[in-house]
Amino acid sequence: MTGEGGNTARLLSRPFLILSAATLAYFVADGLTLPTAPRFAAGPLGADSLGVGVSIGAFSLTALVLRPWTGGLSDRYGRRPMMLVGSALLTAALLLHVVAVSLPIFVAARLLMGAAEAFVFVAAFAAAADLSPDDRRGEALSYFSLALYVGIGVGPPIGEAILGAYGFNAVWVAAAAIAVLSGLLALGVPDTRGQDLGDGSGGRLVHPRGVLPGLVLMAGAWGMAGYFTFVSLYALDLGLDGAAPYLSVYAAVVIGLRLVGAKAPDRIGARRLSSAALVVGAAGLALIGLWTDPTGLLIGTIVYGSGVAFMFPALGLLVVSSVPPSERGAALGTFTVFLDLAFGLGPVSLGAAVAAFGYSGAFLVGACIALAGVLLLLIGTRAQSPSVRKASTSSS
C-alpha cells in the first residue's frame, strides 16, 4: 500500500496509524533509559564522569555509522524488515543491561541500542513518507514526528518512576517488553515501497539529495544540542531551582505547533518553511543569550520551540520530495546522520563557547550557526536543478 498519488482523505490510514504506534512504542522504550542509564553507569557500575560520557555517547557512534547503510537496506528489502530488526536489537540491548556487571558490557549494550535506532528510525520515517498522499506529505511527516517526540517525552518519567519503585533491572525489563510491543506492531506495517523495488540509490552510502538538507539540519540542531546540554546549568546560574519548567514549556510548544501547524510544510513549501523555522529558532536562542533573566529564558524558550517545531518536518519534506520512493531510505539515512553529528559535536563546541564567553555567548553562537544554515539553504537550493527547486518550494 502506498500514498503515491493517493486520496488526500486517507492521510491517517490504518497502516499509517500502526506505523506511528510502532514508532511511539519504540521511543517510549528508548525514553525509559534516558534518565536511568547515566545513573546506572555512575551508581552500580561506579563509572567516573568520563566513563559515563563514553558509555552514553556510544549510542551515537553506531547510529552515526549505520544510518546511511540501513537507509539503503530499507530501499532494497523494505521498511518493515528494518523495523523488525531494529526492535529485536533494542530488545537484546535492553536485556544486556540486566547482565551488565561492568562498564565494557554496558558500553556494548549502548552500542547495540545505537544500531537499533539506526535501523528503526530511517525505515519508519521513509515508510511514513511512502504512506502519505503527495499533497499532504509534509502534514504526514509532522504528525509522524510526534511519535518520536512524545515517546522520548513520556519515557523518562516512566523510567524514573519504575526505578524508584523497583530498581534498575525492572527498568530494563519493562523497556524490553515495550520494545517487543514495537516489533509486534511493526508486523502490521505493509510493504510501502510501491512498484519500483530496486535499490534506487545505486548502492551509494551517501545520497547526494540528503546532504544539503542534512547540513542545514545540523546547523539548526547545533543550538538545540547546546540548549539541552546547558539550559539546566544556565537556569541555576540565574538563581532558579532548575530548568524542568522551561523544558516542559519547550516540549508543549513543539508538540502543540506540530499538531495545529501540521499542514504548514505543504502550504508554505519546504524551503520557505525551513528557512523561516531556522530564523525563528535563531531569534529564540538570541533572546536567551541577550535577555539574561528568567523571563528572557521563558520567552526565548517559547520562540525557540516555535522554530524547532517546523524545522525537522520541513527539511524532511525537502528530502523526500527530491527523490523517487525507491531512494527515500538512502536519502533519509544520509539526512539524519547530520542530526547525530550535531548532537555529538554541538555540546563540545558550545561548551568551549561557555568557557570563553559564558552561557549567553554560547546561546548567541548557536543562533549564528542557525542563521548560517539559512544562508546555506538559500544558496544551495538555488544552485540545484530546476526540478529540485520546484519540489522544494511546492507542496509535493
Instruction: State which H helix or E strand residue 61 sits in.
Output: helix 49-77
Residues 228 and 278 in one domain: yes
Buried b (16+ CB within 10 A) or exposed e, 7-18: eeebbebebbeb
Q: What is the pLDDT of residue 233?
A: 79
Among 31-40, 207-216, 378-387, top mean pLDDT goes to 207-216
Residues 154 and 263 in one domain: no
For residue range 272-321, list pLDDT tens digits in order.
Answer: 999 999 999 999 999 999 999 999 999 999 999 999 999 989 998 899 88
Residues 159 and 251 in one domain: no
Write down which residue in 186, 217, 235 finishes a domain. Answer: 186
For residue range 70-84, list pLDDT tens digits in order.
Answer: 888 888 889 999 999
Does residue 334 lie within any of the structural domains? yes
Q: What is the pLDDT of residue 372?
A: 96
Residues 179 and 215 in one domain: no
- What average pLDDT does range 129-158 have in this prediction? 84
pLDDT band at 4 (very low <50, low <70, confident <90, very high): very low
Q: What is the pLDDT of residue 6?
A: 39
Residues 180 and 216 in one domain: no
pLDDT band at 246 (very low <50, low <70, confident <90, very high): confident
The residue behind cell 558500553 is: 107
On the CB side of 298, CA atoms within 13 Å amount to 5
Residues 19 and 153 in one domain: yes
Q: What is the pLDDT of residue 49?
A: 67
Q: What is the pLDDT of residue 123?
A: 92
Q: What is the pLDDT of residue 387?
A: 46
Does residue 201 lie within any of the structural domains? no
Does residue 376 lie within any of the structural domains? yes
Question: For 232-240, which contacts have Cβ atoms below 8 Å and span 24 or more sequence positions?
Answer: 233/359, 234/288, 234/297, 234/359, 235/297, 237/359, 238/292, 238/293, 238/294, 238/297, 239/294, 240/294
- Statement: residue 394 has pLDDT above 80: no
Residue 269 identity? G
For residue range 42-63, list pLDDT tens digits in order.
Answer: 889 998 867 877 787 788 788 8
Task: State how many domains the chain has.
Answer: 2
Does residue 196 lie within any of the structural domains? no
Write down which residue in 156, 186, 216 finishes a domain. Answer: 186
- Statement: residue 3 has pLDDT above 50: no
Residues 134 and 59 in one domain: yes
Does residue 177 lie within any of the structural domains? yes
Q: What is the pLDDT of residue 155?
A: 86
Q: What is the pLDDT of residue 149?
A: 81
Does residue 49 lie within any of the structural domains? yes
Q: Using alpha carbons, list the distances in angstroms from residue 89 to 119, 195, 260.
A: 9, 29, 35
Q: pLDDT averaged over the chain?
A: 86
Q: What is the pLDDT of residue 39?
A: 85
Residues 177 and 235 in one domain: no
pLDDT band at 8 (very low <50, low <70, confident <90, very high): very low
Does residue 200 lie within any of the structural domains? no
Q: What is the pLDDT of residue 189?
A: 92
Task: Dig out the grid coordinates for 188 from the structure.
Answer: 502490521
Does residue 93 lie within any of the structural domains? yes
- Statement: residue 378 has pLDDT above 80: yes
Query: 69: domain range?
Result: 11-186
Among 199-213, 241-255, 308-322, top mean pLDDT goes to 308-322
Residues 46 and 180 in one domain: yes
Q: Mutual orientation of helices 49-77 and 79-98 as an angle, nearest 10°? A: 160
Q: What is the pLDDT of residue 204?
A: 64
- Statement: residue 337 has pLDDT above 90: no
- What average pLDDT does range 209-223 have in this prediction? 92
Q: What is the pLDDT of residue 376?
A: 94
Residues 39 and 176 in one domain: yes
Task: Dig out the grid coordinates for 49 from the structure.
Answer: 564522569
CATH code where residue 305 lies: 1.20.1250.20
**Percent of the chain as helix, strand, coil, to the nearest 5:** 80, 0, 20
Residues 46 and 138 in one domain: yes
Contact 287, 353 (CB under 8 A): no
Residue 197 burial (10 A CB sphere; 0-12, 13-18, 19+): middle
Residues 65 and 22 in one domain: yes
* Rounded-to-integer distance, Cα 298 and Cα 288, Å: 8
pLDDT band at 229 (very low <50, low <70, confident <90, very high): confident
Question: Alpha helix (H) ranges present in 132-167?
Answer: 137-166
